[in-house]
Chain A
Amino acid sequence: MQLTSKNPLTSKMKKTANINTALAAATCALLGTVPVAQADEGVWEMDAALLYYGETDRVTAVEGVFSASKDFGDEHVFSGKIILDSLTGASASGAVAQPNAQTYTRPSGRGQYVVAAGETPLDDTFHDTRVQLEAQWTQPLGDDMRGSTGVHLSKEYDYLSIAVNGSLAKDFNQKNTTVSAGLSLAFDTIDPEGGRPVAFSEMVIDQGQFANEEAYQAVFDATRQEGTDDKSTVDLMIGVTQIINRRMLMQFNYGFSMSDGYHTDPFKVLSVVNDQGLTQALVHEDRPTERTRHNFYWQTKYALDSGVADISYRYATDDWDINSHTIDSRLRFNLSDNTYIQPHFRYYQQSAAEFYQPFLLEGTALPTFASADYRLGEMTAYTIGLKYGMKMPSGNEWAFRLEYYQQDPKNAGFDEPGALQQLDLYPSLKAVIAQVSYSF
Chain B
Amino acid sequence: MMRNKLIKITLALICVQLVGCANLGVQPWERDLLAKDEMALDSEGNDLGLDDHIYFSKEATSGGRAFAGGGCGCN
Chain A residues within 8 Å of B, Cβ to Cβ: 1-7, 10-11, 13-14, 17-19, 22-23, 25-26, 47-49, 51, 53, 59, 63, 65, 67, 81, 83, 85, 87, 91, 126, 128, 130, 132, 152, 154, 156, 158-159, 161, 163, 165, 173-177, 182, 184, 186-188, 190, 192, 233-235, 237, 241-251, 253, 255, 257, 259, 265, 267, 293, 295-301, 303, 308, 312-316, 320, 322-327, 330, 332, 348-350, 353, 375-376, 379, 381, 387, 401, 405, 407, 429, 433, 435, 437
What separation, in Å, do the CA atoms of A187 and B40 have in the docked complex? 31
B45 and A47 within 8 A (CB): yes
Interface residue ranges of B2-30 to A (CB < 8 Å):
2-3, 6-7, 10, 14, 17, 21, 24-30
CB within 8 A of B10: which of A47, A130, A313, A323?
A: A313
B50 and A298 within 8 A (CB): no
16 extra interface residue pairs, beta carbon distance < 8 Å, beyond A5-B52, A128-B73, A312-B64: A2-B67, A5-B46, A14-B39, A19-B35, A25-B28, A65-B46, A130-B72, A174-B27, A243-B26, A250-B17, A301-B39, A308-B39, A323-B3, A325-B3, A332-B38, A348-B59
Residues of B within 8 A of A188 (CB): 70-71
A297 and B53 within 8 A (CB): no
Residues of B within 8 A of A314 (CB): 61, 64-65
Residues of B within 8 A of A51 (CB): 50
Q: Which residue of A lies closest to B3 (CB)?
A: A325
CB-CB under 8 A for A299 and B73, given A17-B35, A375-B60: no
7 A-B residue pairs with CB within 8 Å: A11-B40, A165-B67, A174-B28, A301-B39, A303-B39, A330-B44, A435-B50
Residues of B within 8 A of A381 (CB): 58-59
Residues of B within 8 A of A161 (CB): 70-72
CB-CB under 8 A for A246 and B33, given A401-B47, A437-B47: yes
CB within 8 A of A13: which of B40, B47, B58, B62?
A: B40
Q: Which residue of B lies closest to A177 (CB)?
A: B25
What separation, in Å, do the CA atoms of A236 and B8 have in the docked complex? 26
CB-CB under 8 A for A247 and B33, given A49-B50, A257-B68, A308-B39: yes
CB within 8 A of A316: which of B2, B26, B61?
A: B61
Q: In the complex, how many residue pairs between chain A and chain B have their CB atoms under 8 Å apart?
A: 274
CB-CB under 8 A for A350 and B39, given A65-B50, A401-B47: no
A13 and B41 within 8 A (CB): yes
Residues of B within 8 A of A1 (CB): 52-53, 56, 70-72, 74
Q: Which residue of B lies closest to A373 (CB)?
A: B60
A2 and B50 within 8 A (CB): no
What separation, in Å, do the CA atoms of A407 and B42 have in the docked complex? 26
CB within 8 A of B59: which of A25, A308, A324, A332?
A: A324
B40 and A14 within 8 A (CB): yes
B70 and A299 within 8 A (CB): no
How distant is B54 from chain A, measured CB to nearest CB, in Å? 6
A297 and B65 within 8 A (CB): yes
A159 and B40 within 8 A (CB): no
The listed residue with most B CB atoms (<10 A of its CB), out of A184, A267, A376, is A184
Residues of A within 8 A of B53 (CB): 1-2, 63, 85
A375 and B64 within 8 A (CB): no
What separation, in Å, do the CA atoms of A320 and B74 have in the docked complex? 20
What separation, in Å, do the CA atoms of A336 and B54 have in the docked complex? 31
How distant is B1 from chain A, measured CB to nearest CB, in Å? 11
How distant is A27 from chain B, measured CB to nearest CB, in Å? 10
B21 and A245 within 8 A (CB): yes
What separation, in Å, do the CA atoms of A237 and B14 have in the docked complex? 21
Q: Which residue of B lies closest to A8 (CB)?
A: B42
Which 6 pairs from chain A and chain B are nearest by CB?
Answer: A186-B70, A5-B49, A176-B25, A233-B69, A159-B73, A14-B40
A17 and B34 within 8 A (CB): yes
Residues of B within 8 A of A158 (CB): 73
B49 and A255 within 8 A (CB): no
What separation, in Å, do the CA atoms of A356 and B71 have in the docked complex? 22
The listed residue with most A CB atoms (<10 A of its CB), out of B29, B31, B64, is B64
CB within 8 A of A19: which of B32, B38, B41, B44?
A: B32
A255 and B68 within 8 A (CB): yes
Residues of A within 8 A of B44 (CB): 330
Residues of B within 8 A of A245 (CB): 21, 24-26
